[in-house]
Chains A and B, each alone.
Chain A
Amino acid sequence: MVSDGSSISKDLTPEQFQRFRDYIHQHSGIYLEESKADSLRISLITRATRYGFAVLDDYFKLLTTDETEFRELMNLVTINETSFFRFPAQFEALRKYIVPEIVEGKPETSRSFRVWSAGCSTGEEPYSVAMTLLDSGLEGLGYVSEVLGTDVSTSALERAKAAVYPSRSLLNIPHSVTTRFFEPTPEGHRVSERVRKTVDFQYHNLVKEPYPLGLMGNWDIVFCRNVTIYFRLESTRRVVENFFNSLNPGGYLFVGHSETLTSVSDKFEPVEVGGVFLYRKPRARSAPHREVMKERVTPAATSPRASATARAGSRAGRRETSSTPDPTVVENHAVDVELLVSSARRASEEGRSDDVLTLVDEILTEDESNAEAYLLAAYSHADSGDLQTALKECKRSIELDPLSAASHYVLGIIYQRQGESDRAMHEFKRTIYLDADFVLAHFNMANLQRSVGAKAEACRAYENALRSLYRVPDGEWSWFLGGFRPDLLAQTCERSLIECRKKA
């Protein structure tokens, strides 16, 4: 029989779950329902393994004595966590100061007030916004409020649309709000029709560009709180840049109360109102797109990080091109290639090998030294079992861009397939050297190490994989997941880790 189906759940006993839950509840106000046990377990193991704890009780001791560790754990625990009127001072500020200020500056003809809640999870945030708008007298002034909630979690969106919440989640909000904006139902409380009809939900991934046109303009306020804390800095910059472009002049960005735009963007004006820090898009237009241009013309990078930035920059620079003051012919030409590359990447992600190869051909006729095209071709050939061609294409890609972590990763995969473990290992190490958070390189290295009996090394590599997975869930590495879900990769790592540790 399989021996470990049970050992994994044993890793967090009901007593332990209760103990952690109570501690978290007491110190953060967040109450984890029974159904969260599994995700709590994953978070705990991720954190505990960082310090080499094999027993969660020992980790509990650390947690209760170390404030920093508590915060780190909470970052993982709160992945989908949200609540009504989370950080109430922001909603106060919204009603008292921000709505009046924005209305004041609106053109005569405008009759709508639009708020986007990006990363809305199960809907508490957009509904809280909608309730606040109802209370701020917009209706009386003849404005129609429109609130849009977007998220990548379809299950969260389903719950948001249903708008039914356990009564426990209403405990911290004023009674008057509950009676005015909720209706009791057998399963808990439902947000009332009056609020619901001003709120809409839509699937949207903040790190996938370009954004749909419908999102790209005419917002008075964007809420994006506790979402980008899991993103790479690069991604956060792009996300915030997109918010900037889609906000009306004078519009506001609300970020989580522990977040800041320092080193993310200098386009917004920081504003303090009623003890709350917010970011405003200036009314007078400052020269936009400056940074992006600078990034795009950065010559060949000299350090791995810089190279990643340059690539991310050129990847992300697409939209700006059209609004750049002086797009040269070369720039326009680059646009087409970029589009082709992103289509090819998508085809690769979706496993359409033939399409990838067709697109690669097109890219190479435009730009015969496009490293990424060779890389995509290599991966596609590896997928269809033609390792010789894959190897050739991959080496070409590395010649053109020696600092690409992804190319070394794919080379590692090819060697691994050819049974050349040492070479594969070497390439995975390089990958990690170039991008410390390349999850799949850690993962494959762990598997290789485990297969040669190097348990301790394998454990460490699985831990690194898990850590990076939480740190950069959307990293470049995720293009190579082949449709596999990151959370399932996390489970796989975790399961392997536990098994490995048993034997180590």
Chain B
Amino acid sequence: MAGARILAVDDSPTILEMIKAILVSGGYEVITATDGAEALETARAEMPDLILLDVMLPKLDGYRVCRLLKFDQKYKGIPIIMLTAKTEEQAMATGIRTGANQYLTKPIEPERLLEAVAEELQKAEG
């Protein structure tokens, strides 16, 4: 599903640029947010086809954002891929209960990221 619109959320400018570059090279359109509140707002306003969500975010953490969207009829269909640091692996259990569709551990490998995105988009379509 090339041309899909993806919301990428990360607080680090460098990582956000990196993610964006990877996604654009995969043929996707990318919108971004840098904190949890902005992520939620953008997700609601723009209805992206998929969300890449960092766990550690200012204002509202990634898990909360995920939960708020996944518990909302209107948005729960948007696939969410959470990005976690290795040390957060423990917290993953919480994330899974939050309803995230997939987890990727940082550092993000370009190929893995594109695979995961393609997979989730396909599932959501089918």
Contact = CB atoms under 8 A, between A and B. Distances in A.
Interface string A1-25: 1111100000000000000000000
Given A5-B115, A495-B110, A384 B21 contact: no
Given A447-B20, A484-B107, A492-B21, A1 B14 contact: no
Given A447-B20, A489-B18, A416 B27 contact: no
Interface residues of B, number: 34
A481 interface: yes
Given A383-B11, A492-B110, A450 B27 contact: no
Contacts of A500: 25
A376 B24 CA distance: 30
Contacts of B11: 383-385
A48 to B, nearest CB: 18
B72 interface: no
B13 A492 contact: no
A351 interface: yes
B26 A2 contact: yes
B12 A383 contact: yes
Given A5-B114, A447-B20, A496-B21, A488 B108 contact: yes
A486 B92 CA distance: 26
Contacts of B117: 2
B22 A492 contact: yes
B34 A444 contact: no
Given A1-B2, A5-B115, 18 more contacts: A1-B118, A2-B118, A351-B56, A383-B11, A443-B21, A447-B21, A482-B12, A483-B12, A484-B106, A484-B107, A488-B107, A489-B18, A491-B109, A495-B25, A496-B22, A498-B25, A499-B25, A499-B27
11 contacts: A4-B26, A5-B118, A383-B12, A383-B58, A384-B11, A385-B58, A443-B21, A450-B24, A484-B14, A484-B18, A495-B22
6 smallest beta-carbon distances between A and B, as pairs? A499-B25, A482-B12, A385-B35, A2-B118, A384-B58, A482-B14
